[in-house]
Amino acid sequence: MREQLQNLHDQALEALEKANHLEEVESIRLKYFGKKGEMTQILRGMGKLSKEERPKMGALANEVREKLEKALEERKALLEEKKIDLQMEAEDLDVTLTKETIRLGHRHPLLQTMEELENLFIEMGFTVVDGPEIESVENNFDALNSPKDHPSRDLSDTFYIDEDTLLRTHTSPMQIRAMKNLGAPLRIVSSGRVFRPDDVDDTHSPMFHQLEGLVVDKGVTMANLIETLNVFIKEFFGEEMQTRFRPHYFPFTEPSTEVDVTCMKCKGAGCEVCNYTGWSLELLGAGMVHPNVLKNCGIDPDVYSGFAFGLGIDRIAMVKYGIKDIRLLFGNDDRFLRQF
């Protein structure tokens, strides 16, 4: 029996060492400790031993049983741990992994500028109106008092669709549409795309954006024009900004002026952006509405007067954000656009 126990002990341990699954450990347990298990049989056979043999064998059997039970437990624990490790490996869930995020876009800097400008004028009591990009020659030139031989009417300066139709070269035809549709008094702004056959460079694009403003009422003067534009410039660019009104010529206003604004970069000190003048040039054109234009729209210039202005939105956005090249605004490069 001693030998039998020793063999059982060795075999069981060897089997356990080879067991790689919990099921195998369980079947080993059953093989030795199950109801008909080998160890169970031996323990049952104790009764047949002699009185002298029984305690010795009993002690030895207990020792073997304890050792095997311990070995079974240990193997089971080891395999359970291994099973969890394998499971973790298989699931491979890394909570620190960053997922690919879909970034929300936003308004284009030009549209942001356009909206900001419109909102400012809305606060000042203006109404926003909208109009077509394909315009009549009548609205774009004739009704605006532009002489038939004005250079801007030249084929090289205007995209004609046919003799009477064109892509608007400025937003000023919105003055005509507003006065004809709404009559006097009125206070409107209108912004949108305009087109000219310019060669593309860092400050020119065949398509750009303007905002037009028009006020018609009784007793409107140049002082109202200057005050309105000064308030607007300070609101938009900042209190420290100065304006400079230079005499100019436009067919649809008399007198006419071009307005310069303190250079944003150097605040007037002079730098390479403003060619050391301290001024950002030609941000807007303005003037008192020419009596002929009022007449063309059925408004009596002896009763009403008005002022108008047109500003380049692209220019303003470039000045405001310090953008050196207008092409960046239309290039659709996300690396550029996402900054705004």
Stretch that binds ligand DAH, among 114-122, 236-244, 279-287, 329-337 (CB under 6 A): 279-287
Residue with smaller CB distance to ligand DAH, 60 or 222: 222
Pick one of 109, 131, 173, 285: the residue that binds ligand DAH (CB under 6 A). Answer: 285
126 sits near ligand DAH (criterion: CB under 6 A):
no
Phi, psi (deg, nearest 5) at residue 200: -75, 130
Binding to ligand DAH by residue 190, rule CB under 6 A? no
- Per CB under 6 A, 205 contacts ligand DAH: no
CA of 152: how far to CAs of 138, 193, 226, 312, 315, in Å?
Answer: 14, 17, 26, 17, 20
Residue 312 Cβ vs ligand DAH, minimum distance, rounded to whole Å: 8
Sorted by sequence, the CB contacts under 8 Å of residue 187 that are 6+ apart come out as 125, 126, 127, 214, 215, 216, 217
Residue from 113, 139, 146, 172 in contact with ligand DAH (CB under 6 A) = 172
Which of 5, 310, 323, 329 forms a contact with ligand DAH (CB under 6 A)? 310
H runs (alpha helix) in 212-272: 222-237
By beta-carbon proximity to ligand DAH, the closer residue of 139 and 253 is 253
- Closer to ligand DAH at the Cβ: 278 or 285? 285
Rule CB under 6 A: say whether 177 interacts with ligand DAH: no
Cβ atoms 141, 164 nearer than 8 A: no
Stretch that binds ligand DAH, among 18-26, 65-73, 229-237, 303-311 (CB under 6 A): 303-311
173, 204 contact by CB (below 8 A): no
| Residues 212-251 within binding reach of ligand DAH (CB under 6 A) | 212, 250
Residue 317 CB, shortest distance to ligand DAH, in Å, is 17
**Residue placing its CB nearer to ligand DAH in the complex, 253 or 305:** 253
Number of residues that bind ligand DAH (CB under 6 A): 11
Among 253, 280, 296, 305, binds ligand DAH (CB under 6 A): 253
C-alpha 54, offset from chain centre: 88
Q: Work out whether 306 is an interface residue with ligand DAH (CB under 6 A).
A: no
- In one letter, which amino acid is 170? H
- Tokens standing for 124? 């000042």
CA pseudo-torsion sign 316, 320, 326, 331: negative
Rounded Cα distance between 97 and 282, Å, is 53
Sheet holding 134-136, edge to edge: 134-136, 165-167, 160-162
Provide the terminal-to-terminal Cα distance of the chain, rounded to the nearest Å. Answer: 90
Binding site for ligand DAH (CB under 6 A): 170, 172, 212, 250, 253, 285-287, 308-310
